[in-house]
Structure 1
């Protein structure tokens, strides 16, 4: 049965401050009084508020998304307030990127040279690897705060003195209060590396909306769309963020890349890829749990069995696509690294050094030192203990194994070792 995330009354539960408990209770009380149609999600109004001419493909994405939200998602009051703010912010940020290019044409003339795309099944160690790349002072990664408040991150950037970083950290603290499990399963701060799904969300072509809000018709439409226009914007965003930084190359990460390889290669013909492999048994339960945690503050009902079905179907397909990508020969061997999760976590520095060597990049002493300091400060990426079961999401691993056996056999994926905190 679906579990209704009605905010609990204030208590002294560990990890959730009284301030956030009171806020949650206040939203719950307001929801019982205010009309459920407030605030409205008006695609035309959101597009107009952006202050510019939204491209047709982005406008269609916004229209599909808002229609799906209205028809298929039981948003809480917090969800209704949050999603409207989120969509307005995304539209305005996209217009800000356009204006950056218009004001300085040299931004768009600059290449995004040989970016590294980290991909694989979700919760397979890709975030951990991306974070390590982000500690190389010469490598560019999208930062959480940059996807909220777009601006370049110059050499010598001091996050402690940046207003956008401080504002983003306050927002992350607020969300952690509404979803207290989130920091343990996905520890981030404002200056942490961010996924590319947050970039393509600016033009409303991103699976992140379904992860957070449950929008099945929008997702079905998105699955049938070509991602070329979304990655054209992705390149414009990277060009604006790299301007004046002097970074050597971009390191980019998102499980969603699995479904967009053709568009990525059309946009970045010299792209390089790192694919991390992990036992799908762990992946299915972990990503289902993450989806539940992300949806809970925004929805008035959670159907965990539906989440389980959605996750397994999508990522069984994703596993097949990873095999097809590797077999296709679309990327030459010197631009492709396959790595096992266990290899990455057993010797992170050695794994990163090997990736740099394959790509002909210099693994500097400064990069190694920064990565080692991060690992010393946050063993295994700072992840907490897992508190979920496959059965919580109606997932029967043994029945599913034949459906991803081809992926496991092709890449020689090791069986899951249960227990303990594990980087995602």
Structure 2
């Protein structure tokens, strides 16, 4: 109850308080002290009481830490969060090694025919992922188990779900507005970028921070090693909680399709399509809100440019992938307009396409969710193209190839769209 009174207060004072903390930390020289990957690895090993058996992750960690130190302009909270994040990943890796020593057979278990949902961000991929996760025959990684894949302590009460919910609420206080734009709970199905981040090869880091040199290294290095770990991570979850039809989701998958198909030859793909003009301002705003607590330099125009460049490349890859994979039993296309207008029918069509059975229990669970959350749990959000330096007319022209390739209807009318509209004939 007290938290309900504190949250509005925290929302109103937080930005000023964070800036004051940064000024104080700068005077003390804290922000000038770099993160050091060797020390972080040593700290994780000390906590676990054993060294790493496999240090293949180290080059990626070193590149990420270098980019954090030189480019991300980490705030005091950003520095603390980056350190905590890295130590958590390292701790999970050490725990994986320990569990594999106890039960080596877990790595022999197959991950059969996983379904990967992808498309432009903010296009309905999260909504679809959530609906599919309601079917108990399916298996989606939840936020709590991607953050803490094993219990924090052996024996006793498992407190992971409660801890993750507290952490999410704390972040909402640090970045007011993010709860409306991207609501999260411990039980929310999580994106695969959080899994790949454990080996420091994830597009997630370029969203949460300005790290262009790390991102360039990642693109050059490829994603196969990250997805080999991704499979290993799923095997650990299966080892604890059993096997199901894996349903996985991330817009960033469009950049990693070759790696996914190498690691998972029987993977199936769902592409969700939406007007990019409805997507890009929302992506830019979400990126801004995610980065805000972690950096001393927040540039909405740079973010807008990054988002438009990244997802123009992404849209091109979607078109290329569709042509390469072709329509068939392993690929399914769905439009945001269809998904939101008739979600149950959309899910049923997906199941039919992949030869899956949609049980009555799953229908009821999905129907209940749709009835209770007509907007998928999202609040009302307001943002403009101008906030991120985006020009809707230029974007309409730039993404015309993608709209045409999949017959996507315009959701946002630019002046050019209005001029091109046919005249209305009144009988």
- TM superposition score normalised by structure 1: 0.89
Counterpart selection for 2:38 from 28, 34, 44? 44
Q: CA deviation at 1:28?
A: 3.9
Q: 2:102 corresponds to which residue?
A: 103
Residues 192 and 39 (structure 1), Cα distance of their counterparts in 2 relative to 1, 3 Å cut: farther
- List runs of 5+ in structure 1 lacking aligned partners: 1-12, 153-160, 419-424
Are residue 412 (structure 1) and residue 403 (structure 2) matched? Answer: no
Rounded to whole Å, the distance in 1 between the matches of 2:350 and 2:214 is 37
Rounded to whole Å, the distance in 2 between the matches of 1:398 and 1:36 is 45
Q: 2:124 corresponds to which residue?
A: 125
Q: In 1, are the aligned partners of 2:31 and 2:75 still within 8 Å (CA)?
A: no
Q: 1:279 corresponds to which residue?
A: 275
Q: In 2, are the aligned partners of 1:276 and 1:341 still within 8 Å (CA)?
A: yes
Q: Deviations over 1:101-143 (max 9, x none)?
A: 2221221111000000000011110000011111111211111
| Higher deviation after alignment, 187-196 or 397-406 | 397-406
Q: 2:239 corresponds to which residue?
A: 243
SS at match of 1:17: helix
Are residue 262 (structure 1) and residue 261 (structure 2) matched? Answer: no
Q: 1:402 corresponds to which residue?
A: 397
SS at match of 2:122: coil
Q: Deviations over 1:346-403 (max 9, x none)?
A: 1111111111111111111111111112122221201112211011111112113232
Rounded to whole Å, the distance in 2 between the matches of 1:372 and 1:219 is 40
Q: 1:328 corresponds to which residue?
A: 324
Are residue 116 (structure 1) and residue 115 (structure 2) matched? Answer: yes
Q: Once superposed, which parts of structure 1, at least 4 consecutive aligned residues long, lie more than 6 Å away?
A: none
The structure with more radius of gyration: 2
Residues 29 and 304 (structure 1), Cα distance of their counterparts in 2 relative to 1, 3 Å cut: closer
Q: Deviations over 1:69-128 (max 9, x none)?
A: 111121111111111111111111122223222221221111000000000011110000
Q: In 2, are the aligned partners of 1:47 and 1:54 still within 8 Å (CA)?
A: no
Q: In 2, are the aligned partners of 1:15 and 1:180 still within 8 Å (CA)?
A: no
| Higher deviation after alignment, 226-235 or 379-388 | 379-388
Q: 2:423 corresponds to which residue?
A: none
Q: 1:231 corresponds to which residue?
A: 227
SS at match of 1:224: helix
Rounded to whole Å, the distance in 2 between the matches of 1:138 and 1:79 is 39
Q: 1:368 corresponds to which residue?
A: 363
Q: 2:424 corresponds to which residue?
A: none
- List runs of 5+ in structure 2 lacking aligned partners: 46-50, 152-156, 414-427
Counterpart selection for 1:353 from 342, 345, 348? 348
Are residue 304 (structure 1) and residue 300 (structure 2) matched? Answer: yes
Q: CA deviation at 1:223?
A: 1.3
Residues 121 and 15 (structure 1), Cα distance of their counterparts in 2 relative to 1, 3 Å cut: farther
Q: In 1, are the aligned partners of 2:31 and 2:74 still within 8 Å (CA)?
A: no
Q: CA deviation at 1:207?
A: 1.2
Matches within 5 A, 1:29-108: 29-34=20-25, 35-37=29-31, 40-51=34-45, 52-53=51-52, 55-108=54-107
Rounded to whole Å, the distance in 2 between the matches of 1:332 and 1:265 is 16
Q: In 2, are the aligned partners of 1:57 and 1:229 still within 8 Å (CA)?
A: no
Q: 1:158 corresponds to which residue?
A: none
| Higher deviation after alignment, 315-324 or 401-410 | 401-410
Rounded to whole Å, the distance in 1 between the matches of 2:87 and 2:288 is 24
Q: CA deviation at 1:247?
A: 3.6
Alignment length (residue pairs): 398
Counterpart selection for 1:202 from 170, 176, 198? 198
Rounded to whole Å, the distance in 1 between the matches of 2:244 and 2:279 is 32
Q: CA deviation at 1:328?
A: 0.8
Counterpart selection for 1:318 from 314, 331, 343? 314
CA RMSD, aligned part only? Answer: 2.2
Rounded to whole Å, the distance in 1 between the matches of 2:20 and 2:341 is 48
